[in-house]
Amino acid sequence: MEPNSLMWVGSPCGLHGPYIFYKAFRFHLETKPRILSLGDFFLVRCKPGEPLCIAELQLLWEERTSKQLLSSSKLYFLPEDTPQGRTVSHGEDEVVAVSEKVVVKLEDLVRWTVRDSSDWNRGLKAVPLKPSDVLRELGKNGQRDTLHRYRESTLNSGLNFKDVLKEKAEIGDDADQKRVLVLSYPQYCRYRSVLARLRERPASLLTSQVVLALGGVASLTEHTHILYCRDTFEPPTLIDNDSICDGFGECL
């Protein structure tokens, strides 16, 4: 790991041949510390001048011989930013996924990451819910919001994220920072259905615990924008992107 720049967060979560896998990494974005972990969604720009898109971090690893630090992410674009363009069949909150995972060096992923997300205004604004008693208790030691985002994640099953959550809580987070969350189409429909089901009910039922039990998505902030994906496409511009690695970490 390179000193004073990129740092792994938490213990390794797997070994395979020359590869060591990790759950999260820490970096600085415009002097502000930030941690990205498996399952996080965040805004990126693959090249200057290209449209914003959403990255979902799915794999992190280090090649032990070359000390190469690598990542694999799934990218989602707005329909109007794809070759086909937006059509009448696209929903207002829909994004389209790149058909293949994108492998890049961690340093390039950091360079892609967008610090100011104020320009992003797409997606269904989440209805902020009251934290359950469990989350209120965790709020006493600063882990409430990080645990909430961990629950939002789609890739945390089977891994222990306690060490990562602790470090995320220690560095804090921008409460007003826009966040994005991409669901499958069935998950999105279920979320809309749960909100409609609870809209006429007592406000006391609008807790994260109740919504999660009903199969919805618990969000504690109105700054989360929820989108869904049901299709893929082949992006012609990524082929010429020098940051993209071939295979399982074969980077120039």
Helical packing angle, 162-171 and 144-152, nearest 10°? 130
CATH number at residue 69: 2.30.30.490
- What are 242's two structure tokens? 């020098």
State whether residue 219 is helix, strand or coil. coil
Higher pLDDT, 242 or 177: 242
Residue 251 lies in a domain: no
Residue 178 backbone zone (phi > 0: left; psi -120 to 50: alpha; other: beta): beta
Q: Hey, which bits of the chain come out as E strands?
A: 7-9, 14-16, 19-21, 24-29, 32-37, 41-44, 53-63, 68-77, 94-98, 102-105, 124-125, 179-184, 224-233
Residue 48 lies in a domain: yes
Residue 250 lies in a domain: no
Residue 249 lies in a domain: no
Q: What angle do CA 131, 135, 137 make, to 5 degrees?
A: 125
Higher pLDDT, 219 or 244: 244
Domain containing 83 equals 7-240
Report residue 15's pLDDT band, with 50, 70 and 90 as the boundaries: very high
- 166's enclosing H/E stretch is helix 162-171
Question: pLDDT (tens digit, 9 = 90+) per residue, 27-85?
Answer: 988 778 899 999 999 999 999 889 999 999 999 999 988 889 999 999 999 999 999 99
Residue 185 lies in a domain: yes
Residue 246 lies in a domain: no
User: Where is mean pLDDT largest: 87-101, 116-130, 139-153, 180-194?
Assistant: 87-101
Question: pLDDT (tens digit, 9 = 90+) per residue, 128-168?
Answer: 665 554 444 444 444 445 444 544 444 455 678 888 888 88
Residue 1 lies in a domain: no
Higher pLDDT, 79 or 239: 79
122 touches 54 (CB < 8 A): no
- How many structural domains is the chain composed of? 1
Longest dimension (CA), the chain: 59
Residue 252 lies in a domain: no
